[in-house]
């Protein structure tokens, strides 16, 4: 197999060249290198993924369907079932999905925020991350509207990745162009197509770029490789036809990306460094030529016989020019600087990205485990690091952060062993388990409960429904917390009992009467505090030992309690007990006591 430069670049600057093919290398076929994954960004019905799925099956590659809007992972699963032995992964990418690995300065620029173009960039970047995590080196990116895929051409194109970083399949029909370039063709211009992310083979081991949130994001992705003449084209595919001029907002949304990408490609033709475009003066001249280019297209269309298509094209050109007039040279130069910083940061992230031990591990790393389906997984895998998967039951509607530990073994005792409850660890419907939480073996978390970040529920703990456990709170082994209670940044020791509708912001602890014994040995167990329903324990209060606090009691902030407390009483200081009617202050008149006494 050999690759060849095509032509010598022109030296004349332009606002939009008819062709950029001089920047590509023609690929000659050779031996089979293989493709490991086919990544498809899907927003239409999954029926549109049939062509990509058939291709992946013939290649022996994993097909990755990144779904949103009308495309659904479970529907893709039904499609994939028609291909025995197919390796596949389908992910319902959540609306507004964000991850620290996908945090880019370019996404926060005014240009990106003004014209969001969907989640295509996010999905393609997810494809790059999955490739890095799972060790896929040869990846084919496809759009869902690409058809007439020839498996032999794809295989031969992949061979060129031994020499090149990317190889694009030419989209012959329907042409893959911007709205302005479609108008250029309609007006008689000799507009050609360029390689794009719609059908692009990538050697992910040698790529340090990403897809920014901008129109022509694929041109920016391959730009540095284009400048090094390390992008080739091979083979032909087709694209489903669409009406480029139907909505003028399409042209408006594309214009900044079209200007920026065409301006960059002009540098590549002229063999000028990217730093040339850091000067706003470069963009000032380019924007002026772009204005003239759009005007010339409109003039040519006006000379043709009137038609609805021509009228629509003129409307689209008007919208594009309106947007172009708002683009400043400084904004282009600023975007270039932001993009440069993003490229450096992305290269570092990818270099530091560890290889995942499994598909499940990769999905947890991306916080997408609960949104994924694959024959390599057991249905919709929950978002959590399950340490004891055989003994964990987690509701499909629960949300578990990627860094949480679910079903972790009982804590090692100083002496003796825990008596087992012989029940699975369970996470109820609608639960929300935060980052870095520790949910022990045989623990039960009731429906609707929220466990905030860095919290711990030790083995055998029982948490009722609609409970809130706030940041860094700890519930000891075999403790019991009733429905609708709040455990706030506090310690609830082993075997404590907290009733329903309690608020506990202080600590419930053992007496530790004999410090010579192992503090947690079962044979030296001490009884633990028991709180009735509707008990309030204020900040910094301490309830010590096997005492009972009656229903509706109120433990003031900072109080120390070492004796039983009758229902409905107030405790302050050290065991200072008051009836509400004897309390000097507003607390004694609170509705809290009327409610708890009545109940």
Angle at 317 between CA 315 and CA 320, to 5 degrees: 115
- The mean pLDDT value for 448-470 works out to 95
The pLDDT value recorded for residue 386 is 42
The yes-or-no verdict on residue 599 having pLDDT over 80 is no
The pLDDT value recorded for residue 42 is 96
The pLDDT value recorded for residue 506 is 96
The yes-or-no verdict on residue 412 having pLDDT over 80 is no
Q: Is 354 exposed, middle or buried (0-12, 13-18, 19+ CB in 10 A)?
A: exposed
Which segments of the chain belong to CATH 3.90.550? 3-10+21-352
- The mean pLDDT value for 50-73 works out to 96
- The mean pLDDT value for 234-260 works out to 93
Q: Among 485, 510, 515, 483, which residue's Cα sits nearest to residue 495?
A: 510
Which residues are registered as beta bridge partners of 480?
462, 497
The yes-or-no verdict on residue 8 having pLDDT over 50 is no
The yes-or-no verdict on residue 136 having pLDDT over 80 is yes
- The mean pLDDT value for 230-237 works out to 93
Which segments of the chain belong to CATH 2.160.10.10? 380-598
Q: Which pLDDT band, with edges at 50, 70 and 90, does 31 fall under?
A: low
The pLDDT value recorded for residue 389 is 44
Taking the CA of residue 411 as centre, how many other CA atoms within 13 Å lie in the half-sphere pointing to its CB? 19
Q: What is the mean pLDDT of the chain?
A: 89
- The mean pLDDT value for 189-212 works out to 92
Fold of the 380-598 domain? UDP N-Acetylglucosamine Acyltransferase; domain 1 (2.160.10)
Cα distances (Å, whole numbers) of residue 288 to 68, 283, 324, 325, 399: 39, 8, 10, 9, 52
For 3-10+21-352, CATH number out of 3.90.550, 1.10.10, 3.30.1370, 1.10.30 equals 3.90.550
DSSP annotation string for 227-272: HTT-EEEEEEEEE----TTS-HHHHHHHHHHHHHHHHHHHHHHHT-
The pLDDT value recorded for residue 2 is 37
- The mean pLDDT value for 526-532 works out to 92
Q: Is 132 exposed, middle or buried (0-12, 13-18, 19+ CB in 10 A)?
A: buried
- The mean pLDDT value for 370-391 works out to 59
pLDDT tens digits, residue range 273-322? 999 999 999 999 999 999 999 999 999 999 998 899 999 999 999 999 99
The answer to whether 192 and 18 have CB atoms below 8 angstroms apart is yes
| pTM check: above 0.85 | no
- The mean pLDDT value for 120-149 works out to 96
- The mean pLDDT value for 186-192 works out to 86
Under 8 Å CB-to-CB from 299, ≥6 apart: which residues?
Answer: none
The yes-or-no verdict on residue 9 having pLDDT over 60 is no
The yes-or-no verdict on residue 36 having pLDDT over 70 is yes
The pLDDT value recorded for residue 387 is 41
- The mean pLDDT value for 243-263 works out to 94
- Encoding tokens for residue 539? 């900040």
pLDDT tens digits, residue range 423-442? 999 999 999 998 889 999 99
The pLDDT value recorded for residue 14 is 54
The pLDDT value recorded for residue 420 is 86
The pLDDT value recorded for residue 405 is 86
The pLDDT value recorded for residue 110 is 86
The yes-or-no verdict on residue 468 having pLDDT over 60 is yes
The yes-or-no verdict on residue 178 having pLDDT over 80 is yes
The yes-or-no verdict on residue 252 having pLDDT over 90 is yes
The answer to whether 363 and 381 have CB atoms below 8 angstroms apart is yes
Percent of the chain clearing pLDDT 70 (strictly above): 90
Look up tokens 């990217």; give the residue: 274
Look up tokens 């008051």; give the residue: 578
The pLDDT value recorded for residue 227 is 93
Q: Which pLDDT band, with edges at 50, 70 and 90, does 527 fall under?
A: confident
- The mean pLDDT value for 331-346 works out to 97
The yes-or-no verdict on residue 266 having pLDDT over 70 is yes
Higher pLDDT: 26 or 244? It is: 244
- The mean pLDDT value for 8-16 works out to 44
């Amino acid at each position: 197999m050999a690759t060849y430069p095509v032509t010598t670049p022109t030296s004349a600057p332009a606002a939009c060249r008819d062709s950029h093919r001089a920047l590509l290398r023609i690929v000659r076929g050779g031996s089979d290198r293989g493709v490991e994954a086919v990544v498809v960004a899907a927003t239409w019905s999954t029926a549109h993924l049939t062509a990509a799925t058939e291709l992946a099956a013939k290649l022996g590659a994993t097909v990755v369907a990144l779904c949103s809007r009308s495309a659904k992972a479970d529907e893709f699963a039904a499609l994939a079932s028609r291909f025995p032995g197919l390796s596949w992964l389908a992910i319902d990418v959540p609306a507004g999905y964000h991850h620290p690995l996908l945090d880019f300065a370019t996404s926060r620029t005014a240009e990106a925020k003004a014209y969001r173009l969907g989640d295509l960039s996010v999905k393609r970047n997810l494809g790059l991350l999955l490739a890095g995590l799972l060790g896929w080196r040869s990846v084919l990116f496809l759009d869902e509207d690409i058809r007439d895929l020839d498996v032999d051409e794809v295989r031969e194109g992949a061979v060129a990745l031994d020499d090149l970083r990317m190889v694009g399949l030419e989209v012959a029909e329907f042409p893959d162009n911007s709205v302005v370039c479609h108008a250029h063709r309609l007006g008689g211009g000799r507009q050609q197509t360029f390689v794009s992310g719609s059908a692009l083979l990538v050697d992910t081991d040698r790529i340090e770029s990403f897809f920014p949130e901008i129109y022509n994001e694929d041109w920016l992705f391959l730009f540095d490789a284009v400048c090094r003449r390390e992008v080739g084209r091979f083979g032909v595919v087709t694209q489903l036809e669409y009406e480029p001029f139907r909505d003028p907002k399409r042209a408006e949304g594309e214009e900044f990306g079209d200007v920026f990408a065409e301006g960059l490609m002009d540098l590549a033709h002229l063999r000028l460094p990217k730093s040339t475009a850091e000067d706003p003066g470069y963009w000032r001249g380019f924007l002026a030529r772009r204005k003239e280019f759009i005007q010339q297209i409109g003039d040519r269309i006006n000379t043709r016989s009137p038609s609805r298509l021509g009228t629509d094209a003129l409307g689209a050109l008007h919208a594009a020019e309106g947007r172009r007039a708002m683009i400043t040279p400084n904004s282009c130069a600023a975007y270039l600087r932001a993009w440069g910083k993003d490229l450096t940061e992305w290269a570092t992230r990818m270099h530091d990205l560890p290889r995942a031990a499994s598909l499940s591990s990769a999905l947890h790393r991306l916080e997408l485990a609960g949104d994924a389906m694959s024959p390599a997984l057991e249905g919709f895998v929950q978002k959590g690091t399950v340490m004891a998967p055989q003994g964990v039951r987690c509701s499909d509607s629960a949300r578990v952060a990627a860094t949480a530990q679910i079903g972790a073994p009982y804590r090692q005792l100083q002496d003796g062993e825990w008596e087992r409850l012989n029940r699975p660890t369970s996470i109820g419907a609608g639960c929300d388990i935060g980052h870095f939480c520790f949910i022990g073996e045989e623990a039960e978390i009731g429906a609707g409960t929220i466990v905030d970040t860095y919290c711990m529920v030790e083995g055998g703990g029982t948490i009722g429904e609609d409970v809130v456990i706030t940041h860094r709170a700890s519930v000891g082994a075999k403790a019991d917390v009733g429905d609708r209670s709040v455990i706030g940044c506090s310690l609830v020791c082993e075997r404590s009992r907290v009733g329903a509708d309690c608020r506990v912001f202080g600590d419930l602890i053992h007496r530790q009467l004999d410090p010579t014994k192992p503090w947690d040995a079962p044979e030296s167990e001490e009884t633990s505090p028991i709180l009735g329903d509707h008990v309030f324990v204020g900040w910094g209060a301490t309830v010590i030992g096997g005492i009972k606090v009656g229903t509706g009691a109120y433990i003031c902030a900072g109080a120390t309690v070492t004796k039983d407390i009758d229902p409905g009483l107030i405790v302050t200081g050290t065991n200072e007990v008051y009836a509400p009617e004897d309390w000097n202050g507003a607390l004694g008149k609170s509705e809290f006591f009327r409610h708890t006494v009545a109940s």
